[in-house]
Amino acid sequence: MSHESAAGQLPQFLVYRAVAAALEEDLGPAGDITTNAIVPEGGHAKAAIVARAEGWIAGLQFAEAAFKTFDHGADFDVAVADGGGVESGDTIATIEAEARALLTGERVALNFLGHLSGVATLTSSFVRAVKETRARICCTRKTLPGLRTFEKYAVRMGGGVNHRFTLSDAILIKDNHIAAAGGLKAAIESATARAGHTVKIEVEVDNLDQLETALRHPIDAVLLDNMDTATLSRAVKLVDGRVTTEASGGIGLENVREVAETGVDLISIGSLTHSAPALDVALDWS
């Protein structure tokens, strides 16, 4: 079982650069003094990355890079690729490498893999909860500093879709913009006058009155913020397919299906990236 992963891998040069930075953070100035004191140079070992819980995998490129940075000739064989699901106990990948490379690269490999798989796994829970509705599960800009590109990739590996990567990507008019502009109408008019032709415009609305105002303008999407499901249903009807509808605010696994059944196109959830527990993954020597 596997989520869509056709969008392809992350560029390797970015992965290796991120891994080098993480290794430097983890090694510190003296390096792996435990391994260097105890483990003879040159010996080889085999190990497996194993899931200790059910989940969805994302981030194997990082794990591979962590080991290969220390041992270019390491073998890294993927058993369950990014986007694939695992049960507790499943082998995700096997590695054969210098023993020191295995020991010194382990923590960075698992830190990336555990976090990104955690994001994929939480995303997948939401995706499966809304199965057979039209709603897609979507991330936000509530990501951890320095990790946005990778977390958004993990969301895709969990079956979700991506909202804006940066403030450059699209116009999203929120309550504070409206306040600063002196009203919803003024804000939308400023935005539509200045938006580039490759830029979509989305407007956050809190109630049906605002929604009606917004729909009088040539916008692409509405963010229906913090509405109860009855209001959401009415909003979806009012929109009637003219623009994309996105629900957000206070949505968890306990109520996401109810929200999805209102007929919204997208449900955006900050916790996918800011609060996903790591997937428990470990490196077992064989």
Residue 237 appears among annotated catalytic residues? no
Closest distance to a copy of itself from the beta carbon of 254 (Å): 15
- Out of 128, 174, 216, 237, the active site residue is 174
- Rounded to an integer, what distance in angstroms lies between the CA atom of residue 158 and that of residue 118? 9
> Encoding tokens for residue 159?
């079956």
Nearer to a copy of itself, 199 or 230 (CB): 199
What is the SS3 assignment for 232-263?
HHHHHHHHCCCCEEEEECCCCCCCHHHHHCCC
Catalytic residue among 52, 54, 96, 107: 107
Minimum Å distance from CB 159 to a copy of itself? 13
Out of 98, 106, 202, 225, pick the active-site residue: 225
Token reading at 18: 């991120």
Active site residue 174: yes
- In whole angstroms, the minimum distance from the beta carbon of 96 to a copy of itself comes to 14
Q: Please check whether residue 281 is in contact with residue 150, taking contact to mean a CB–CB distance below 8 angstroms.
A: no
Residue from 71, 98, 204, 265 carrying the catalytic annotation: 204
Tell the smallest beta-carbon distance from residue 178 to a copy of itself (Å).
8
Query: Active site includes 204?
Result: yes
Q: Identify residue 199 by its one-letter amino acid code.
A: V
Nearer to a copy of itself, 31 or 89 (CB): 31
Rounded CA gap, 273 and 147, in Å? 10
Q: What are phi and psi of 75, to 5 degrees?
A: -95, 130
- In the complex with a copy of itself, which residue's Cβ is closer, 193 or 230? 193
Given the residues 142, 164, 185, 234, the one annotated as active site: 142
Q: Report, in Å, the least distance between residue 179 CB and a copy of itself.
A: 6
Other residues' Cβ atoms within 10 Å of the Cβ of residue 246: 22
Q: Is 185 a catalytic residue?
A: no
| C-beta closer to a copy of itself: residue 32 or 90 | 32
Secondary structure (DSSP) of 52-107: SSSEE---HHHHHHHHHHH-TT-EEEESS-TTBEE-TT-EEEEEEEEHHHHHHHHH
- Closer residue to a copy of itself in complex, CB, 166/254: 166
Q: Annotated catalytic sites, by residue?
A: 107, 142, 174, 204, 225
